[in-house]
Amino acid sequence: DSGVTQTPKHLITATGQRVTLRCSPRSGDLSVYWYQQSLDQGLQFLIQYYNGEERAKGNILERFSAQQFPDLHSELNLSSLELGDSALYFCASSPRGRRDSSYEQYFGPGTRLTVT
Amino acid sequence: GDSVTQMEGPVTLSEEAFLTINCTYTATGYPSLFWYVQYPGEGLQLLLKATKADDKGSNKGFEATYRKETTSFHLEKGSVQVSDSAVYFCALSDSTTGTALIFGKGTTLSVSS
Protein backbone atom coordinates (compact mmCIF):
# COMPACT_ATOMS: atom_id res chain seq x y z
CA ASP A 1 0.00 0.00 0.00
CA SER A 2 1.58 3.26 -1.20
CA GLY A 3 -0.56 5.49 1.00
CA VAL A 4 -2.07 7.23 -2.02
CA THR A 5 -5.80 6.69 -2.43
CA GLN A 6 -7.93 7.20 -5.52
CA THR A 7 -11.67 7.10 -6.01
CA PRO A 8 -13.59 5.74 -7.71
CA LYS A 9 -11.85 2.54 -8.76
CA HIS A 10 -13.98 2.16 -11.87
CA LEU A 11 -16.07 4.63 -13.82
CA ILE A 12 -18.26 3.96 -16.82
CA THR A 13 -19.84 6.89 -18.60
CA ALA A 14 -21.05 8.02 -22.00
CA THR A 15 -19.46 10.25 -24.61
CA GLY A 16 -20.00 13.94 -24.00
CA GLN A 17 -20.24 13.54 -20.24
CA ARG A 18 -18.07 15.01 -17.48
CA VAL A 19 -16.44 13.10 -14.62
CA THR A 20 -14.29 13.91 -11.61
CA LEU A 21 -11.54 11.69 -10.31
CA ARG A 22 -10.26 12.15 -6.79
CA CYS A 23 -6.85 11.57 -5.25
CA SER A 24 -5.55 11.82 -1.68
CA PRO A 25 -1.75 11.94 -1.45
CA ARG A 26 0.42 10.31 1.19
CA SER A 27 0.43 12.13 4.48
CA GLY A 28 2.81 15.06 4.28
CA ASP A 29 3.41 14.94 0.52
CA LEU A 30 2.90 18.32 -1.08
CA SER A 31 3.08 17.34 -4.75
CA VAL A 32 0.39 15.51 -6.67
CA TYR A 33 0.83 14.25 -10.23
CA TRP A 34 -1.73 12.88 -12.66
CA TYR A 35 -0.85 10.32 -15.32
CA GLN A 36 -2.88 8.62 -18.03
CA GLN A 37 -2.16 5.03 -19.05
CA SER A 38 -3.63 3.87 -22.34
CA LEU A 39 -2.79 1.01 -24.65
CA ASP A 40 -1.70 3.21 -27.53
CA GLN A 41 0.02 6.08 -25.68
CA GLY A 42 1.45 4.23 -22.71
CA LEU A 43 1.94 6.15 -19.47
CA GLN A 44 1.82 9.92 -19.97
CA PHE A 45 2.21 12.75 -17.52
CA LEU A 46 -0.76 15.10 -17.46
CA ILE A 47 -0.26 17.71 -14.76
CA GLN A 48 1.42 18.41 -11.41
CA TYR A 49 0.27 20.45 -8.43
CA TYR A 50 2.45 21.52 -5.58
CA ASN A 51 0.89 22.81 -2.38
CA GLY A 52 -2.22 24.03 -4.17
CA GLU A 53 -0.59 25.57 -7.21
CA GLU A 54 -0.13 24.22 -10.70
CA ARG A 55 3.57 23.40 -11.11
CA ALA A 56 3.92 21.64 -14.47
CA LYS A 57 1.83 20.58 -17.42
CA GLY A 58 2.33 17.66 -19.73
CA ASN A 59 0.13 16.26 -22.46
CA ILE A 60 -3.12 17.38 -20.91
CA LEU A 61 -6.04 18.17 -23.19
CA GLU A 62 -7.91 21.45 -22.84
CA ARG A 63 -11.03 19.44 -21.95
CA PHE A 64 -9.21 18.23 -18.84
CA SER A 65 -8.46 20.28 -15.76
CA ALA A 66 -7.27 19.67 -12.23
CA GLN A 67 -6.96 21.36 -8.90
CA GLN A 68 -5.43 20.75 -5.51
CA PHE A 69 -7.31 21.77 -2.41
CA PRO A 70 -6.01 23.20 0.91
CA ASP A 71 -6.11 19.71 2.48
CA LEU A 72 -3.83 18.65 -0.45
CA HIS A 73 -6.24 16.24 -2.08
CA SER A 74 -6.59 16.69 -5.81
CA GLU A 75 -9.31 16.28 -8.39
CA LEU A 76 -8.98 15.68 -12.11
CA ASN A 77 -11.95 16.84 -14.15
CA LEU A 78 -12.55 15.35 -17.58
CA SER A 79 -15.25 16.90 -19.75
CA SER A 80 -16.80 16.37 -23.18
CA LEU A 81 -15.58 12.81 -22.93
CA GLU A 82 -14.63 10.89 -26.04
CA LEU A 83 -14.11 7.18 -26.62
CA GLY A 84 -10.37 7.80 -26.78
CA ASP A 85 -10.36 9.08 -23.19
CA SER A 86 -10.92 5.54 -21.95
CA ALA A 87 -7.81 4.76 -19.91
CA LEU A 88 -6.37 4.17 -16.47
CA TYR A 89 -5.77 7.44 -14.63
CA PHE A 90 -3.12 7.35 -11.94
CA CYS A 91 -2.38 9.84 -9.25
CA ALA A 92 1.05 9.96 -7.63
CA SER A 93 2.43 11.97 -4.77
CA SER A 94 5.92 13.00 -3.92
CA PRO A 95 7.77 14.29 -0.91
CA ARG A 96 9.30 16.90 -3.21
CA GLY A 97 9.29 20.11 -1.34
CA ARG A 98 11.15 18.67 1.55
CA ARG A 99 14.91 19.09 1.65
CA ASP A 100 15.68 15.45 1.03
CA SER A 101 13.49 15.01 -2.05
CA SER A 102 14.74 12.66 -4.72
CA TYR A 103 11.97 12.82 -7.30
CA GLU A 104 10.54 9.56 -5.98
CA GLN A 105 6.81 9.26 -6.65
CA TYR A 106 4.27 6.99 -4.99
CA PHE A 107 1.37 5.85 -7.12
CA GLY A 108 -2.23 5.21 -6.24
CA PRO A 109 -4.13 2.16 -7.52
CA GLY A 110 -5.69 4.14 -10.38
CA THR A 111 -9.18 4.86 -11.69
CA ARG A 112 -10.25 2.92 -14.74
CA LEU A 113 -12.41 5.12 -16.95
CA THR A 114 -14.51 3.56 -19.67
CA VAL A 115 -16.29 5.87 -22.09
CA THR A 116 -19.04 4.20 -24.11
CA GLY B 1 12.49 16.16 -25.55
CA ASP B 2 13.51 13.54 -23.08
CA SER B 3 12.55 9.96 -23.82
CA VAL B 4 12.95 6.38 -22.65
CA THR B 5 13.24 3.29 -24.81
CA GLN B 6 12.92 -0.17 -23.34
CA MET B 7 12.94 -3.56 -24.93
CA GLU B 8 9.68 -4.85 -26.32
CA GLY B 9 8.11 -7.75 -24.55
CA PRO B 10 6.77 -10.05 -23.60
CA VAL B 11 9.70 -11.72 -21.93
CA THR B 12 9.01 -15.33 -20.98
CA LEU B 13 11.37 -17.12 -18.59
CA SER B 14 11.50 -20.21 -16.47
CA GLU B 15 11.87 -19.90 -12.73
CA GLU B 16 15.49 -19.29 -11.61
CA ALA B 17 16.52 -17.94 -15.02
CA PHE B 18 18.56 -14.75 -15.38
CA LEU B 19 16.66 -11.62 -16.32
CA THR B 20 17.78 -8.58 -18.28
CA ILE B 21 15.43 -5.85 -19.45
CA ASN B 22 17.18 -3.20 -21.50
CA CYS B 23 16.49 0.49 -21.05
CA THR B 24 18.14 3.44 -22.76
CA TYR B 25 17.30 7.09 -22.44
CA THR B 26 17.71 10.45 -24.12
CA ALA B 27 17.81 13.43 -21.82
CA THR B 28 19.09 16.93 -21.38
CA GLY B 29 21.21 17.13 -18.30
CA TYR B 30 21.43 14.43 -15.68
CA PRO B 31 18.06 12.92 -14.84
CA SER B 32 17.27 10.55 -12.03
CA LEU B 33 16.42 7.06 -13.32
CA PHE B 34 13.82 4.62 -12.01
CA TRP B 35 12.37 1.20 -12.49
CA TYR B 36 8.72 0.78 -11.56
CA VAL B 37 6.78 -2.49 -11.48
CA GLN B 38 3.05 -2.96 -12.06
CA TYR B 39 1.42 -6.18 -10.88
CA PRO B 40 -1.88 -7.18 -12.47
CA GLY B 41 -4.71 -4.91 -11.41
CA GLU B 42 -2.49 -2.70 -9.29
CA GLY B 43 -0.77 0.67 -9.46
CA LEU B 44 2.91 1.24 -10.05
CA GLN B 45 5.42 0.51 -7.33
CA LEU B 46 8.91 1.91 -7.24
CA LEU B 47 11.35 -0.97 -7.61
CA LEU B 48 14.65 0.90 -7.55
CA LYS B 49 16.25 4.19 -8.47
CA ALA B 50 19.59 5.87 -9.19
CA THR B 51 20.18 9.58 -9.05
CA LYS B 52 23.63 10.02 -10.58
CA ALA B 53 26.07 8.35 -12.94
CA ASP B 54 27.54 5.02 -11.77
CA ASP B 55 24.97 4.70 -9.00
CA LYS B 56 23.56 1.20 -8.62
CA GLY B 57 19.98 0.85 -7.48
CA SER B 58 18.94 -2.45 -5.95
CA ASN B 59 15.89 -3.99 -4.33
CA LYS B 60 14.42 -7.50 -3.92
CA GLY B 61 17.29 -9.03 -5.92
CA PHE B 62 16.87 -6.60 -8.83
CA GLU B 63 19.70 -4.28 -9.82
CA ALA B 64 20.31 -1.51 -12.33
CA THR B 65 23.34 0.72 -12.85
CA TYR B 66 23.15 4.30 -14.17
CA ARG B 67 25.52 4.33 -17.15
CA LYS B 68 25.99 7.86 -18.48
CA GLU B 69 28.41 6.82 -21.23
CA THR B 70 25.89 4.46 -22.80
CA THR B 71 22.78 6.32 -21.54
CA SER B 72 21.44 3.07 -20.17
CA PHE B 73 19.79 1.70 -17.05
CA HIS B 74 19.31 -2.02 -17.68
CA LEU B 75 17.36 -4.05 -15.12
CA GLU B 76 18.83 -7.40 -14.03
CA LYS B 77 17.96 -10.20 -11.65
CA GLY B 78 20.01 -13.32 -11.17
CA SER B 79 17.16 -15.75 -10.47
CA VAL B 80 13.56 -14.85 -11.23
CA GLN B 81 10.54 -16.24 -9.43
CA VAL B 82 6.96 -16.77 -10.57
CA SER B 83 5.98 -13.90 -8.29
CA ASP B 84 8.13 -11.53 -10.40
CA SER B 85 5.62 -11.80 -13.27
CA ALA B 86 4.52 -8.22 -13.91
CA VAL B 87 5.02 -5.24 -16.20
CA TYR B 88 8.26 -3.33 -15.68
CA PHE B 89 8.63 0.34 -16.59
CA CYS B 90 11.83 2.29 -16.95
CA ALA B 91 11.45 6.02 -16.25
CA LEU B 92 13.40 9.22 -15.89
CA SER B 93 12.75 12.58 -14.31
CA ASP B 94 11.86 15.06 -17.01
CA SER B 95 14.40 17.85 -17.33
CA THR B 96 11.74 20.29 -18.55
CA THR B 97 9.46 20.02 -15.54
CA GLY B 98 12.13 18.81 -13.19
CA THR B 99 9.87 16.38 -11.46
CA ALA B 100 7.42 14.64 -13.79
CA LEU B 101 8.31 11.13 -14.88
CA ILE B 102 8.74 10.04 -18.48
CA PHE B 103 8.10 6.34 -18.90
CA GLY B 104 9.09 3.73 -21.39
CA LYS B 105 6.33 1.60 -22.90
CA GLY B 106 6.76 -1.19 -20.38
CA THR B 107 8.01 -4.77 -20.66
CA THR B 108 5.78 -7.66 -19.65
CA LEU B 109 7.61 -10.43 -17.81
CA SER B 110 6.05 -13.86 -17.48
CA VAL B 111 7.81 -16.45 -15.32
CA SER B 112 6.71 -20.07 -15.32
CA SER B 113 7.52 -22.79 -12.81
Q: Quick one: pLDDT at residue A96?
A: 65
pLDDT at B23 over 80: yes
Could you tell me which chain A residue has the CA closest to the CA of B100? Answer: A45
DSSP of A33-93, one letter per residue? Answer: EEEEEETTTEEEEEEEEETTEEEEE-S--TTEEEEE-TTS-EEEEE-S--GGG-EEEEEEE
Distances (CA, A) of B49 to A16, B15, B33, B92: 41, 25, 6, 9
**Is the CB of residue B95 less than 8 Å from the CB of residue B4?**
no
Q: Quick one: pLDDT at residue A28?
A: 86
pLDDT at A93 over 90: yes
What is the mean pLDDT of the segment spanning B24-38? 91
- How far apart are the C-alpha atoms of A75 and A50, rounded to whole Å? 13
Residues of A in contact with B106 (CB under 8 A): 42-43
Residues of B in contact with A58 (CB under 8 A): 97, 100
Q: What is the pLDDT of residues B74-89, one digit of tens each?
A: 999 999 999 999 999 9
Q: Number of helices (H) and strands (E), helices first, in chain B?
A: 0, 12
